[in-house]
Each structure stands twice: as C-alpha cells, then as structure tokens.
C-alpha cells in the first residue's frame, strides 16, 4: 500500500493511493496514521478495505489537492549521520565505525511539496535527499538484525534540510542545524514493505533549480535500514510511527568547492525509486 494524508495543514485526512491519480479515503475507518494506528495493527486492518474500495471504484481523484506528510507528527525523528562513505569524504570526516545518531525536532515535519523556510540568521542552508524508515510497532532491544523487518511499517522519501553554520559553527550540536521549522519534508506517501522490492538498492536523486546535485543509491549505505533499526533499539525505545532518516549520498551543498548554499527562491526537486518525488520552494525567514 501507499498511504498518504490529504488536506490543509493540521486537517489532513488519511487515505491510500490506488493508482497514479486516484485515492481511497480512509477517514471513516481510521482517525490518522499515528502511533495508535501503527501500534494497533492498523496496516493489516485497512489492507482489505483499500483493496475492496479499489475494486469497486469507490475512489476519488487526487487532482491538485495538498498532500501532507504521510504520517502524523511522531514522538521522535532520529537521524543517522555520515551513512554514505562518499558523503563522509565530501564532508571531510572519517567513515564512522558505528552509526552516528542525532535527533531532529518532530515539528519540522511538513508535506512533500510545502515551502521550506530559511531560519533567521541562517547563512549556509543545505539539502539532503534521504530514505526514511517509519516504525510499525514498539521496538526495544531487538535480538537480531533480522527481527528489524518485523518492526518497520514502511519507507518514505525525506529531505533532511540542514543549516550548516548552525550545525557546525554553533557549538558542534547538530540538532541546532536540523530543527528549524519546515526542515523535514516527507512523502508523498508511505510505501509499505511489501511494495519495496529491495530497500537496499533504490536509486535516489536531488536537483536544485533543475540542476542535478545528488545522484546515489541506498546500495552504498554503510549501515542498511535493518541494521539501523536493530542498532537504535539497543539505546532507546522506538515507538510506532517514529521516523528514522538514514543519511544522504554525496552532492550536498557543503561538498562543493566553493560550497553552494540554498537561496530564497530556489526550487528543490528530489525522489527515490518507488517512493515518489517532492518539490519545495525556498522562502524567506519570518
């Protein structure tokens, strides 16, 4: 299934995509794609409903309706830093022996085509196309990497927008450069595991103003999604609906010589094979 949420910010309704242009409204059977939904087996509960509505033609045209983040605000957004060796190299940092973890404020989450707002005082805003993992059930102290698959609801395209001066020059605390409002576009949909042939081999890309800046594949991750979920579970409890951003391939603005930073009016377009595409316009600070 491909789950999405449709409507104005704060009033999105849960739905499932049935083809490229139509969706099945699920707001009569589920309140939202949130902790309660994932934790109570919601994916299994709605699967036959989606199939029945698709077969009977009980679907609606997507048209130009706004698509929000495919998940409601999670308890936490956990990020993995430097998870591609070539990105670590362009950042001038060593390949990590273990995953580098940091958090991102959950209220950074926005829809895939919403505007990205530059924060006040920013001088080095940057882009990062990433694979996101959505947790499907409460996860702690997994015994094996193989168990991780049972705890994943699906995958989502994310843009881990960053402000490098805040991140690297204001005390070295990455949270500062990652948590400005609008800094985590997600979607357009959450794709369940059964529709992803091999999450460890998905092409990914990002353009700025029509110029290709990032080209990569999840096949070059240092730590794959299953390892990441198992690893994080040894340090903290992951709740249903939590989001994990798994790192970015090379081509971020920081890696160019001289660096290239986002400017007001720039347009980012990005995608991951099978997970859809996004488009954001960069807007001025408040």
Please state the domain extents for the chain.
2-61, 77-283
CA angle, 14 then 16 then 19, to 5°: 145
Question: Per-residue pLDDT averaged across 73-86, rounded?
Answer: 93
pTM for the full model?
Answer: 0.97
Q: What is the fold, at CATH topology level, of the domain defined by 77-283?
A: Fumarylacetoacetate hydrolase; domain 2 (3.90.850)
pLDDT tops 80 at residue 110: yes
pLDDT tens digit sequence for 90-100: 777 788 899 99
pLDDT tens digit sequence for 141-191: 999 999 999 999 999 999 999 999 999 898 878 899 999 999 999 999 999
Cα distances from 173 to residues 66, 102, 179, 198, in angstroms, run: 34, 9, 11, 34
Spatial separation of the C-alpha atoms in residues 140 and 151, rounded to whole Å: 10
Spatial separation of the C-alpha atoms in residues 15 and 32, rounded to whole Å: 9
- 206 pLDDT band (50/70/90 cuts)? very high
Query: Please, are residues 257 and 251 in contact by the beta-carbon 8 Å criterion?
Result: no
Q: Which pLDDT value is given to residue 88? A: 77
pLDDT tens digit sequence for 29-56: 999 999 999 999 999 999 999 999 999 9
Q: Which pLDDT value is given to residue 8? A: 98
Spatial separation of the C-alpha atoms in residues 75 and 240, rounded to whole Å: 9
Reading phi first (left if > 0) and then psi (alpha if -120 to 50, else beta), residue 182 is in left
Q: Which pLDDT value is given to residue 171? A: 83
Residue 282 CA, chain-centre distance (Å), reads 18
pLDDT tens digit sequence for 217-228: 999 999 999 999
Block residue for tokens 């576009």: 185
Q: Which pLDDT value is given to residue 130? A: 98
Q: Which pLDDT value is given to residue 40? A: 97
Cis peptide before 261 (omega within 30 of 0): no
Q: Which pLDDT value is given to residue 268? A: 98
- 68 pLDDT band (50/70/90 cuts)? very high
Q: Which pLDDT value is given to residue 240? A: 98
């Amino acid at each position: 299934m491909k789950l999405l949420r449709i409507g104005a910010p704060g009033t999105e309704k849960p739905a499932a995509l049935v083809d490229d242009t139509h969706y099945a409204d699920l707001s009569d059977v589920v309140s939202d794609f949130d902790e309660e939904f994932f934790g109570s087996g919601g994916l299994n509960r709605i699967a036959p409903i989606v199939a029945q509505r698709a077969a009977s033609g009980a679907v609606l045209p997507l048209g130009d309706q706004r698509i929000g983040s495919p998940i409601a605000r999670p308890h936490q957004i956990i990020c993995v830093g430097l998870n591609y060796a070539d990105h670590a190299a362009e950042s001038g940092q060593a390949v990590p022996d273990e995953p580098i973890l940091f958090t991102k404020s959950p209220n950074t989450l926005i829809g895939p085509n919403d505007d990205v707002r530059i924060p006040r005082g920013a001088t080095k805003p940057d882009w990062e196309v990433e694979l996101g993992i959505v947790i499907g059930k409460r996860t702690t102290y997994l015994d094996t990497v193989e168990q991780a698959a049972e705890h994943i609801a699906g995958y989502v395209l994310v843009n881990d927008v960053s402000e490098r001066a805040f991140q690297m020059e204001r005390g070295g605390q990455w949270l500062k450069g990652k948590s400005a409002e609008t800094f985590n576009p997600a979607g357009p949909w959450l794709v369940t595991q059964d529709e992803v042939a091999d999450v460890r081999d998905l092409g990914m890309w990002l353009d700025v103003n029509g110029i290709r800046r990032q080209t990569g594949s999840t096949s070059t991750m240092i730590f794959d999604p299953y390892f990441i979920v198992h690893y994080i579970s040894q340090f903290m409890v992951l709740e249903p609906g939590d989001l994990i951003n798994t790192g970015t391939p090379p081509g971020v603005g920081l890696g160019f010589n001289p660096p290239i930073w986002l400017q007001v009016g720039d347009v980012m377009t990005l995608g991951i094979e099978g997970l859809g595409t996004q488009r954001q316009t960069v807007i001025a600070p408040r």
